[in-house]
């Protein structure tokens, strides 16, 4: 099978990147052979517009990455859980960051019950988030509703991550590990901290409630003072 012109361009781009990288940092690839020692695990969306390393300015070897549709952490997903275990047990990362983004197609499909194929079964996890917060989402301006659910999804997936056995075990053995929830704006290229930051098991409930309260205040400022207490741990 002959390689198409587009694929040849990718190989050419790779060659130029490798040459430029080695010229800029002699020995770069030789050093990568020794060992990867990232401090961060990034769990993000598979969207091609969200390049993890590039948008935080980290080089290969400095960021451990797992991506799937709508940055979901499901307790039944052995792929994601295996990455988390390797990151915590072997690499001993200090930070795990769940990163959602504006205009997420998977989240939009979940919000609007849009059928997309086999991924419908995966998007069901995001629909569960929608259903849990449906009453509040209906108060959000329609133009902001997708992004509001994107942010809610980050907060809920970060909480799911905190409840995994791998993260719980790391905390129980005294390992320094912090879970974060962030949001990336496609419109401006900036990351936003959603204040879902947890470094110990006993912080999960307060961090979750605080992150939800901040989101509600940001997306529905006039109604923030009248919100009922947030439930859940």
Catalytic pick among 104, 133, 216, 219: 104
Pick from 132, 145, 156, 131: nearest CA to 211: 156
Under the banding of pLDDT at 50, 70 and 90, the label for residue 2 is low
CA–CA dist 129, 126 (Å, integer): 5
Q: 3-class DSSP state for residue 63? A: strand
90 — pLDDT class (breaks 50, 70, 90): very high
Strand partners, 66: 43
Q: Is 162 a catalytic residue?
A: no
SS3 44: strand
Q: Which of 45, 80, 150, 162 is catalytic?
A: 45
Domains of the chain, residue spans? 1-34, 36-226
| Cα 102 to Cα 78, 109, 152, distances in angstroms | 26, 13, 12
The CATH number that domain 36-226 falls under is: 3.40.1050.10
How many CB atoms lie under 10 A from the CB of residue 104? Answer: 26
92 is catalytic: no
Neighbours of 172 (CB within 10 A): 11
pTM for the model = 0.90
45 catalytic residue (yes or no): yes
Q: Which long-range contacts (CB under 8 A, 24 or more apart) does 192-197 make?
A: 194/151, 194/154, 194/155, 196/98, 196/154, 196/155, 196/158, 196/159
Q: Which of 66, 101, 133, 145 is catalytic?
A: 101
Rounded to an integer, the average pLDDT of 198-212 is 98
Predicted local distance difference test score (pLDDT) of residue 3: 66
User: Is residue 51 a contact partner of residue 59, using CB atoms and an 8 Å limit?
Assistant: no
Active-site residue 206, yes or no? no
pLDDT tens readout for residues 100-125: 999 999 999 999 999 999 999 999 99
- Would you call 67 a catalytic residue per the annotation? no
Kindly state the tokens that stand for 132: 């849990």
Identify the active-site residue in 15, 49, 163, 200: 49
């Amino acid at each position: 099978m002959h390689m198409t012109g587009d694929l040849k361009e990718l190989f050419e781009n790779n060659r130029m990147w490798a040459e430029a990288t080695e010229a800029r940092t002699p020995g770069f690839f030789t050093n990568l052979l020794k060992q990867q020692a990232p401090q961060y695990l990034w769990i993000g969306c598979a969207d091609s517009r969200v390049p993890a390393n590039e948008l935080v300015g980290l080089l290969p070897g400095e960021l451990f990455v797992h991506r799937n549709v709508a940055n979901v952490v499901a307790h039944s997903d052995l792929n994601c859980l295996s990455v988390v275990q390797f990151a915590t047990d072997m690499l001993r990362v200090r930070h795990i960051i769940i990163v959602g983004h504006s205009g997420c197609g998977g989240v939009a499909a979940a919000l609007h019950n849009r059928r997309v194929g086999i991924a419908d079964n995966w998007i069901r996890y995001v629909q569960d988030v929608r259903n849990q917060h449906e009453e509040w989402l209906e108060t959000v301006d329609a133009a902001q509703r997708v992004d509001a659910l994107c942010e809610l999804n980050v907060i809920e997936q970060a909480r799911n991550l905190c409840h995994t056995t791998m993260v719980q075990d790391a905390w129980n053995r005294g390992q320094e590990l912090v879970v974060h929830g962030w949001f990336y704006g496609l419109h401006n290229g900036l990351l936003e901290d959603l204040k879902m930051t947890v470094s110990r098991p006993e912080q999960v409930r307060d961090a979750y409630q605080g992150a939800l309260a901040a989101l509600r205040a940001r997306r529905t400022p006039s109604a923030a003072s009248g919100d009922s207490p947030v439930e859940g741990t």
